[in-house]
Structure 1
Amino acid sequence: MKRNIFTALLLAVMALVFPLGMAASEETPLDSLVEKDSSVDAQGIIFDHLGDRYGWEVPFNHHKSIPLPVIVWGSDGLHVFSSARVDHGAVYRDGNAEFKVAGKDSPYKGKVVELVNGQEVKPAVDISITKNVCGVFISVLLVIWCILSVARWHKSQGMKGPRKMTGAIELVILFIYDGVIKPTLKNKANKFAPYLLTVFFFILVMNLLGLIVIFPGGANLTGNIAVTLVLAIITFLITNIFATKHYWKEVFNPDVPWWFKWPIPIMPVIEIFGIFTKPAALTVRLFANMMGGHMIVIVLTLLIFIFAAMGPVVTGATAVVSIIFSVFMLLLDVLVSFIQAYVFTMLSTLFIALGQEEGHHEGHGNDGHHDGSKHLQDAKTQSSPSANPA
């Protein structure tokens, strides 16, 4: 089993290395990989991989990509066409409008622009299905399939424990619910568990797909700060929309000495500032960790090309070391994928729980009466002669 996993990871790394090698061996794309001083353009390659694009590149062919729909609103209305029409700097004419992908020297680098009197103009609306958007759709479908497989099993088999992949998914669900959500949110766990479990599996699937170099993987979704920002904003909205009165009271009128609140509202300002730092921390933590993992693997792979000018012996030795470390980093990234999904879910659960705190009087309503009756009954049971057989 371990040998099969190692072989699969080795093939994944080679699938990442071979496209770069094939591209570097051809005359035309050499200009995009190597600068005039014959040095590898590592920065360009890294950001090209981490960035978004209008097509899904084919690993073993540097010049071809899986076309995706481009949907833009130009000067004369809506235009829908394939991204293959504007590949490699081609200009596509749709009616009276002309479109192309802006080059490296353009302020709209990598974006579809309209040519108006020879000038590049950004379309008013661009809702194209880019690589990252397509990757999000694929992740959503995979999450739905995973969860529904567990639901279908229990619908047909009752409480019988599932096996194989379905059993593994249910094990993860129970691990997150019983280990994170239930202990933190207690009696309100069922209210927020659907969102928290969904965001965990969504992040996990996106992380794992990003480690695969061929379609449907390869999209660096959680390494895109726009994706992590949207997830953090959803947590922010749930935390504050469903927050209790006590939560908002502690924000605007915290229980601190009066000189922290008047005449200069030091603590209220700090509390309000803290509301917005929580989603910022969620955004940057997930984005930085996942993007860093991708960058390390690419840099290790690029070492082969950086040392290529030193002769075949150095190049061969560098290739072996680079592949070994790349496989190690991929293994580590698999672990990091689980950890980052877990951390995002755990922090989201904590932030939501902070918004569900109740004051002293609120927390001793019906629940407090019930707890008091329970403790009284326990005390009576313990004090009765029949409760102690000895």
Structure 2
Amino acid sequence: MGFKSLKLFLVAAFSVFLVLFSHFANAQEPLDTKKTAKEGAFDPAKIILEHVMDAHEFHFFSYKGSDGEEHEISIPLPVILYSPQRGLSAFSYARFHDHDSHGIYNGYKNEEGKIVAVDANGNTDETVKVYDLSLTRNVVQMFIALILLVWILLTAASKYRKHGTNVAPTGIQNLIEPVVTFIRDEVGRPNLGVKYEKYMPYLLTVFFFILFNTLVGLIPGTANVTGNIAFTMVLAVISLIVIVFSTNRHFWGHIFWPPGVPIPVKLILIPIEVVSTLVIKPGALMIRLFANMIAGHIVITCFILLIFIFGAMNQAVGWGFIPVSVAFTIFLYFIEILVAFIQAFIFTNLTAVFIGQAFEGEHHDGHDHAEDPVII
């Protein structure tokens, strides 16, 4: 709660700061401001969006060379396009940045991160439908995190197969074992009861997959995968499938015909319960993870950009704010590492809670049941 309150305070303070100084910046030499905007110079909003959005390259930084031109240090990714009119095309994203291409290659061009078809004159051709199947940085980074995750877990598993439980864990095994034990004792058993072993593989997979993608995303230049709504939506849909397949007749009986409730009230409760099960629960999983992950990256980026915002107003102020900005950025960076563990735990715990609710009430049929779930 303390970290959350601190983050809210920092966001509020930053917002007030920008509002107060935005009038000063706009009132001072408005002609130069318009000129700067036209020339596409420093634009904080654009930089923030580029940082949190998906892209076709891993961009690290740009610099102006001795020739006076802007040079980018980046890793271009494969572009894979399919068009019913033009067929399949595959090439490197770097083709759009060739000096002689003018941003157009093989009949396509990049418009603000979106690849569209163009005609012979270089104008957008709306008649050509383009399906972008490219390996964007979010996709590539998920594969990297997945390979890293599989390697670490297989390494730990091989030590267990070799030494068993009679030898004290060391190295990676010593790092993974407390986490697995924690998820089992604090998530699986309390929410799923005697059935926890059946769901532990999925719960552990979700926890580590979210954690590894978040931690890799904290490396400068990488993508904010867990801050992508498509990523969290897929995880939420998978959890919904697991929840639905864990239900029983007793659960659906309470959904479609709540017992002990007057018929007029039942007509109101039934749609609410259906929407709650199929929409609200997975929606809560999706939005919670997405909002927390993207908020942290935006706040960190904003504190870094404050150096350039103040520097644009006064160079001395910009240089003087560097220690403050760096200190806050490092502080928030460590908080984001903690948030990575917390959000992976919350997503996993809520999934276990919803699964436990799906088969609750089985004791009426003479079966074992999970302990009463507690939502935190």
Counterpart pick for 2:60 among 58, 61, 66: 58
Distance change in 2, residues 1:167/1:113 (3 Å): same
Correspondence for 1:4: none
Alpha-carbon shift at residue 347 of structure 1 (Å): 0.3
C-alpha contact (below 8 Å) 2:307/2:325 kept by paired residues: yes
Q: TM-score, normalised by structure 2?
A: 0.80
Alpha-carbon shift at residue 316 of structure 1 (Å): 2.1
- Aligned residue runs from structure 1 range 224-263, under 5 A: 224-261=228-265
- Aligned residue runs from structure 1 range 82-161, under 5 A: 82-87=92-97, 90-93=103-106, 98-102=107-111, 109-116=112-119, 118-121=123-126, 123-159=129-165, 160-161=167-168
What's the CA shift string for 1:144-188, capped at 9, x where partnerless? 112111111101111123223321111111111121112211221
C-alpha contact (below 8 Å) 1:143/1:201 kept by paired residues: yes
Select the structure of larger CA radius of gyration. 1
Alpha-carbon shift at residue 254 of structure 1 (Å): 1.4
Distance change in 2, residues 1:349/1:316 (3 Å): same
For the aligned residues, what is the CA RMSD? 2.3
Distance 2:158 2:36 in 1: 53
Matched, 1:342 2:349: no
Alpha-carbon shift at residue 55 of structure 1 (Å): 1.2
Correspondence for 1:80: 90
C-alpha contact (below 8 Å) 1:72/1:123 kept by paired residues: no
5+ residue gaps in structure 1?
1-30, 103-108, 369-390
Distance change in 2, residues 1:245/1:38 (3 Å): closer
Distance 1:165 1:60 in 2: 37
Alpha-carbon shift at residue 292 of structure 1 (Å): 0.5
Counterpart pick for 2:169 among 142, 162, 167: 162
Distance change in 2, residues 1:39/1:137 (3 Å): closer
Distance 1:85 1:38 in 2: 22
Letter in 1 for 2:179: V
Alpha-carbon shift at residue 99 of structure 1 (Å): 1.2
Question: 1:222 is paired with a residue of what secondary structure?
Answer: helix
Matched, 1:205 2:244: no
Distance 1:167 1:129 in 2: 35
Distance change in 2, residues 1:136/1:71 (3 Å): same
Correspondence for 1:223: 227
What's the CA shift string for 1:261-310, capped at 9, x where partnerless? 45xx1111110111110111111110011100000011000111111134
5+ residue gaps in structure 2?
1-32, 64-70, 370-376
Question: How many pairs align?
Answer: 320
Distance 2:209 2:40 in 1: 42
Distance 1:199 1:343 in 2: 11
Distance 2:293 2:86 in 1: 40
Distance change in 2, residues 1:324/1:258 (3 Å): same
Letter in 2 for 1:47: L
What's the CA shift string for 1:167-210, capped at 9, x where partnerless? 11111111111211122112211111111100100000111111
Counterpart pick for 2:47 among 42, 45, 48: 45
C-alpha contact (below 8 Å) 1:210/1:221 kept by paired residues: yes
